Amino acid sequence: MGPLSDIRVVELGQLIAGPFCAQLFGDMGATVVKIEPPGTGDPMRQWGAGDPPVWWEVIARNKRSVAADLRTAEGQEIARRLIAGADVLIENFRPGTLEKWNLAPADLCAANPRLIVVRVSGYGQTGPYATRAGFGGIGEAMGGWRALVGSPDRPPSRLGVSIGDSLAGTYGCLGALAALHERHTSGKGQIVDVSLFESVLQVMEGLVPEYAATGHVRTRSGSVLKGIAPSNVYPCRDGELLIAANQDAIFRRLATAMGRPELANDPRYATHVARGQHQDALDAMIADWSSRYDVAELEALMAQHAVPAGRMFAPRDMLEDAHFRAREALVEVETERHGVLPMQGVFPRLSRTPGGIARAAPAEVGKDGAALLAAAGYDADAIERFRARGVI
């Protein structure tokens, strides 16, 4: 099922960036074999709310679990056999770790010349910082994200999700797909080098060139972007509503909805630049008006006038919302440990060969190991010896 149903992926990653990259492959139909340490498995099995934690059910869906101790010669040989038949290998260890485990990508590619190796790390495989330990939050800081999040009178904030890791996983998947496409021409695999900090840097818009060309330094600005108005979260009688009317024609429609059509011709608000210069006064005016409405009333009024607006959705809102249901943005999955569980659906959507969730996350570490090792050529006695010695 899915456009990548002919692709086989081996995941050596743990925590978020590598496993999220592999989740994207699995969602689009690839066969994903996850190699995790015997016993405890991927630390993601213990992360998040719930007992047992629920996050695992999302990031490990569509995967098969093999337990193998990569610090042993037998575990390394198991990995090599599985990788020999793979199209893509995903890992997110500190640079040099695979080499230490006798799994150097150069050797793996020599044995399997069509192999594409996605290497996700904090700082990349080269450069003076390459061997440093790195987490997503460090990449967010170095890539420029953290300095811009929060209020200007407080220290930098975090987004609330591990955006640096997820971006790195997404770019790892993008790079691997590009390499798979190129392989049709050359017949050869290659290395995809993804760093956390550069993944964040890619989405930082004009941050660096603005500084280089003008000396302008973006700073934390709370709920607004300086000079972009009106675009803010405005108070209502029973909550808040985000209204984004910073384009001239849309602002004209907002002014009409407010019963103040003259504002669209007022020199202080008639143009994008003028509204940015008078942002505080404009926001105060809109907040005074919006506070007279309930959220639902104001949202309906904005829809009536074709002004972009949206509520602050919490999980309950998402589960109850008609548009979420119509889009199948959330789907129900039968899991081994939690029964039927709603979670985000496969995205993006393909019209002819959509992906899907064909397998629930493996509850047991190494659940699929015996079958996959047998398919890789190990007999039952060898598998039992590995199990007895703690290799699997």
Q: Is 165 a catalytic residue?
A: yes
Q: Please give the C-alpha separations between residue 118 and each of 49, 193, 390, in angstroms, as whole numbers.
A: 29, 6, 28
Q: Identify any residues that bridge with 65 across adjacent strands, giving them in sequence order.
A: 34
Q: Where are the alpha helices (DSSP H) in the chain?
A: 17-27, 55-59, 73-84, 97-100, 105-111, 136-142, 163-186, 196-201, 207-214, 248-257, 272-277, 279-290, 295-304, 315-320, 322-327, 369-375, 380-388
Neighbours of 6 (CB within 10 A): 10
Which helix H or strand E contains 193, and what residues bound it? Answer: strand 191-195
- Whether residue 148 contacts residue 219, with contact meaning beta carbons closer than 8 Å, is answered with yes
CA 384/CA 370 separation, integer angstroms: 9
- Whether residue 236 contacts residue 294, with contact meaning beta carbons closer than 8 Å, is answered with yes
Q: Which of 27, 42, 87, 165 is catalytic?
A: 165
CA 285/CA 181 separation, integer angstroms: 53
Q: Identify any residues that bridge with 244 across adjacent strands, giving them in sequence order.
A: 231
Catalogue the active-site residues: 165
